[in-house]
Amino acid sequence: MRWSKTLSMIEAHAEGEVGRVVTGGVVDIPGQTMLDKMIHINRVDDGLRRFCVFEPRGYAPMSTNILLPPTRDDADAGFIVLQGDKAHAMSGSNCMCVVTVLLESGMLPMTEPETIVRLDMPAGLVVATATCHNGKCERVSLEVTPSFVEVLDAGVEVPDIGTVTVDIAFGGIYYGLIDPRPLGLEIRPESARTLVDIGSKIHRALNQQVSVQHPEQPDLSGISYVMFVDNKADGELLSATILPPGRVDRSPCGTGNSARLAVRHARGEVRVGDTSTARSIIDSRFEVMLKAETTVAGRPAVIPQISGQAWIHGLHQIGIDPSDPYPHGYLLSDCWGEAWDLLN
């Protein structure tokens, strides 16, 4: 066997959402900051993302996290999230996977009963508190970057659907938050394909009609995902985040619930110290707490705390045989949805 590139990975998932972690084979990515490095992937050289994420080495319902040396003195490790459409600035479930891998593999020392891990991400510093026992990372609580509302009750015209009301908020990345009930939708496993089809149409319309840009970090722009938001009968939060090119987040979604927390706070529904249980389409669970109030460029914002668990479930390597005709992979719409052609 002769490979021209080799990456070593540890497989993990956080409450059902796969976030494998590249632990070897990538020395660094050009850029002075983690945001610079993400921009390099998205605008200059997309080869590493395609190699990791596209078939035959990757698959649609997963993320790949590239571990990198931190670019700031107050961080223990840096990483960038690679997904089907591009590299993204923040992800709660992937933070849980990365922290669990760093501690359970021994890449960072584990201290019981708690270990603090500071993560350098394109969206900023994320402070993780890992609850540890007998060498196991039993829970990860994330103090997420400040989250804020961009606009409430925006009307968006969606082809074949009509006017859809959307709340737009930042939770590490920008989200469009949508009540599925006026659209005749329910957040259930058997509705996943329909949620993806309609959510993808709304997402494309949003980015065509609405321009958003972080007031302090202008390179954080555009609406990354849409999230259908509802409540269970017992009051627990229920959601389904739709990720390009067309799938549902298996976890309750950390960044999405951070954006949702900012909206709930703006509407007077939560106060500092309030905690809610967030459920995903597969009924997995995060705990969401409003840890503090703050401001971002003079506008009201909140500091969310998102808690959940990740599990390691495999080890493997991927590589390229020099004669392989698909060094950067391929996509088909049967798995990657109707927007697959936009990614080729």
How remote is the C-alpha of 218 from its chain's centroid? 19
Cβ neighbours for 208, distance < 8 A, ≥ 6 positions apart: none
**Cis peptide, bond prior to residue 304, ω within 30 of zero:** no
The HSE-up count of residue 242 (CA atoms within 13 Å, CB side) is 29
The HSE-up count of residue 239 (CA atoms within 13 Å, CB side) is 30
16 exposure class (CB count in 10 Å sphere: 0-12, 13-18, 19+): middle
Which residue in 52, 147, 253, 258 is the catalytic one?
253
Which residue in 52, 63, 91, 132 is the catalytic one?
91
280 with 252: CB under 8 angstroms?
Answer: yes
SS3 301: strand
Active site residue 91: yes
What is the rounded distance in angstroms from the CA atom of residue 306 to the CA atom of residue 288?
A: 5
227 with 240: CB under 8 angstroms?
Answer: yes
Active site residue 211: no
> Which residues are annotated as catalytic?
91, 253
